[in-house]
Amino acid sequence: MKISIVYHSETGNTKKVADLIAEGAGLDGRVDVRTMSVDDIDEGFLEGSAAIVVGCPTHRGSFSWQMKKWIGTTRLKLAGKLGSVFATEAYIGGGADFAELELVAHLLVMGLLVYSAGAGRGQPFTHFGAVAIKDGDDAQKERARIFGQRVAEKAVELFGRG
Ligand SMILES: Cc1cc2nc3c(=O)[nH]c(=O)nc-3n(C[C@H](O)[C@H](O)[C@H](O)COP(=O)(O)O)c2cc1C
């Protein structure tokens, strides 16, 4: 089972959160998790992944144009995979929820099966996906790890360890 975490990060915050999500996704030691920047996609690994998690900074209340460029133009075959999202922002109410919903819309159009864990797994809630203010305080960091773990568990439940 492979899982890809695809991110755009201008100043490093989102990359740090991507690494935390990857840490959580790999916790049981039996999932092969890779993080990759939109500027350096490992296409083979990504197409072979059962789940992808995409995330970027919030820019002007929306998701970054660099992520839009990748997700809006990629020709990789991602339909049927589990898809989850995350976003960082500089302050509460900065638009990360909206950025996540825009990412979700792209995943739906591309035919992925969207999963956030939401409130369905109890605390911590990740309504649309993981959110962090910059690279997150300790609670946000832990939420990012748990989010990754839950995405991996759902992927294994749906697709097996294959
Ligand atoms: C052009 C630009 C626009 C931004 N707009 C917002 C915004 O609307 N809301 C917000 O909370 N943060 C905003 N930020 C801050 C970033 O979302 C935040 O610092 C983020 O964690 C940066 O992630 P990165 O280090 O991965 O690039 C903006 C940053 C830039 C560079």
84-138 per-position pLDDT tens digit: 999 999 999 999 999 999 999 999 999 999 999 999 999 999 999 999 999 999 9
Q: Find out whether the beta carbon of 49 lies less than 6 Å from any atom of ligand 1.
A: no
Q: Closest ligand 1 atom, CA of 11?
A: 25
Amino acid letter for position 162: G
CA distance linking residue 59 with residue 79, whole number of Å: 27
Q: Find out whether the beta carbon of 11 lies less than 6 Å from any atom of ligand 1.
A: yes
Q: Which domain range does residue 43 map to?
A: 2-159
Q: Closest ligand 1 atom, CA of 13?
A: 25
Q: Find out whether the beta carbon of 108 lies less than 6 Å from any atom of ligand 1.
A: no
Pocket mutation for ligand 1, best pick of 15, 37, 58 (most atoms within 8 Å of C-beta)? 58
CATH of the domain at 76: 3.40.50.360
- Diameter of the chain by CA atoms? 40
User: Shortest CA distance to 54 belongs to which of 126, 114, 6, 89?
Assistant: 6
pLDDT tens profile 18-64: 999 999 999 888 899 999 999 999 999 999 999 999 999 999 999 99
pLDDT value at position 12? 98
Cis peptide before 124 (omega within 30 of 0): yes
Q: Find out whether the beta carbon of 10 lies less than 6 Å from any atom of ligand 1.
A: yes
pLDDT value at position 161? 78
pTM: 0.97
The CA-based angle 58-92-36, given to 5 degrees, is: 35
Q: Total domain count for the chain? A: 1
